[in-house]
């Protein structure tokens, strides 16, 4: 088994950007590769429109965040089961902006992750170290801590219906992607961690790289054994640039 069994993924994290106009522009112009899965994470407000437009296609749509309960007095929040009912198929969880700006602790990320799986959505678990952690030689410890927290709350860790996005915090939105060597080294460690801590899914789990991915440079990253695709932020708002990234994962 190896890389060949894992279909590449190109995922768009629109963050707090976009409009119905951007949704329509993507529906009209997005490449629809048969060699890769394409996942779009618009704002929750735009999920329904995109899910409806892509209903009979291979493009999947998800949310950037959910709350860790099914329903109740949680003003401003949405649940994973509501996302599923609205046609969503995936949810990001643990994105570094959620962790740093909105206080999502490892424990909260673990609870959200559990609810996402219970709702039948595919979680895209985002992990990654800060610059300080990398410079202190603690990059893998940080990532491992984030993975362990989720596994502790998970009755039977089985990663076959999960994707992991390795997103070093120092590479997100900085224009400085990790080098292929740095990303590959961490992603191999993550796959090894999955191998040691779950029931035999390490060759199936797709591990994406995220952090300043653009069309230029994507081919060198995807050529690495343990990079199975990308989670793209800024460049995912430009459909031509996003299509170029899709083209780069064709091997
Ligand atoms: C992200 O936010 O998931 C991300 C990878 O952002 P960017 O591509 O802009 O670095």
pLDDT tens digits along 25-36: 999 999 999 999
The residue-averaged pLDDT of 114-133 equals 97
- What percent of the chain has a predicted confidence (pLDDT) above 90? 92
Q: Can you give the pLDDT at residue 185?
A: 98
Res. 99 pLDDT band, cuts 50 70 90: very high
Q: What is the pLDDT of residue 14?
A: 98
Convert the pLDDT of each residue in 205-221 to its tens digit.
999 999 999 999 999 99
Number of the ligand 1 atom closest to the C-alpha atom of 172: 10
CA dihedral sign of residues 212, 36, 241, 63? negative
Protein residue whose Cα sits closest to atom 1 of ligand 1: 233
Q: Ligand 1 pocket check: which of 234, 235, 237, 238 to mutate, most ligand atoms within 8 Å of Cβ? A: 234
Our answer on whether the CB atom of 96 is closer than 6 Å to any ligand 1 atom is no
Separation of 214 CA from ligand 1 center, angstroms? 10
Cβ–ligand 1 distance for 168 under 6 Å, the answer: no
Q: How far is the CA of 218 from the centre of ligand 1 (A)?
A: 14
201: confidence class by pLDDT, cuts 50, 70, 90? confident
Q: Which whole number is the average pLDDT over 191-213? A: 93
Confidence of residue 16 (pLDDT cuts 50, 70, 90): very high
pLDDT tens per residue across span 141-157:
999 999 999 999 888 77
pLDDT digits (tens, 9 = 90+) for 34-61: 999 999 999 999 999 999 999 989 999 9
> Which helix or strand (DSSP H or E) is residue 229 part of?
strand 229-232
Average confidence (pLDDT) over 183-195? 97
The pLDDT assigned to 155 comes to: 80
Predicted pLDDT at 2:
61
| pTM of the entire predicted model | 0.97
Question: Does 212 contact ligand 1 (Cβ within 6 A)?
Answer: yes
Which candidate, 23, 10, 13, places its Cα nearest to that of 172? 13
Residue 83: CB within 6 Å of ligand 1? no
pLDDT for residue 5 is more than 90? no
What angle, rounded to 10 degrees, do the helices at 139-152 and 106-118 form?
A: 50
Return left, alpha or beta for 71; rule: phi > 0 is left, psi -120 to 50 is alpha, else beta.
beta
Least confident interval from 120-134, 163-177, 191-205: 191-205
pLDDT of residue 158: 83
Q: Does domain 65-233 have CATH number 3.40.605.10?
A: no
Residue spans of the domains in the chain: they are 65-233
- Ligand 1 pocket: which of 41, 212, 235, 238 to mutate (most atoms within 8 A of CB): 212
The arithmetic mean of pLDDT across residues 157-169, rounded, is 92
Structure tokens at 22: 């951007």
**Active-site annotation, residues:** 95, 167
Contacts of 137 (CB under 8 A, 6+ apart): none
Residue 1 has pLDDT above 60, yes or no: no
List the residue whose alpha carbon is closest to atom 2 of ligand 1: 233
pLDDT surpassing 80 at residue 118? yes
Return the best residue to mutate from 9, 15, 217 for the ligand 1 pocket (most ligand atoms within 8 A of CB): 15
Residue labelled with tokens 């993507």: 26
């Amino acid at each position: 088994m190896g890389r060949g069994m894992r279909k590449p993924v190109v995922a768009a994290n629109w963050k707090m950007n976009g409009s119905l106009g951007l949704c329509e522009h993507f529906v009209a112009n997005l490449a629809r590769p048969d060699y890769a899965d394409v996942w779009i994470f618009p704002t929750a407000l735009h999920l329904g429109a995109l899910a409806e437009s892509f209903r009979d296609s291979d493009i999947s749509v998800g949310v950037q965040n959910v709350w860790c309960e099914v329903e109740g007095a949680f003003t401003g929040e949405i649940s994973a089961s509501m996302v599923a009912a609205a046609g969503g198929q995936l949810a990001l969880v643990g994105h570094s902006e959620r962790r740093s700006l909105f206080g999502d602790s490892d424990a909260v990320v673990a609870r959200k992750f559990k609810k996402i799986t219970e709702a039948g959505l595919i979680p895209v678990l985002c992990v990654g170290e800060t610059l300080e952690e990398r410079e202190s030689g603690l990059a893998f410890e940080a990532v491992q801590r984030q993975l362990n927290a989720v596994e502790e709350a998970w009755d039977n860790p089985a990663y076959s219906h999960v994707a992991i996005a390795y997103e070093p915090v120092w590479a997100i939105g900085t224009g400085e992607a990790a080098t292929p060597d740095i990303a590959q080294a961490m992603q191999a460690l993550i796959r090894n961690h999955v191998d040691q801590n779950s029931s035999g899914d390490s060759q199936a789990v797709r591990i994406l790289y995220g952090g300043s991915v653009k069309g230029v440079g994507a081919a060198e990253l995807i050529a690495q054994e343990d990079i199975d695709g990308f989670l793209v932020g800024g460049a995912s708002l430009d459909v031509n640039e996003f299509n170029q990234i899709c083209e780069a994962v064709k091997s």
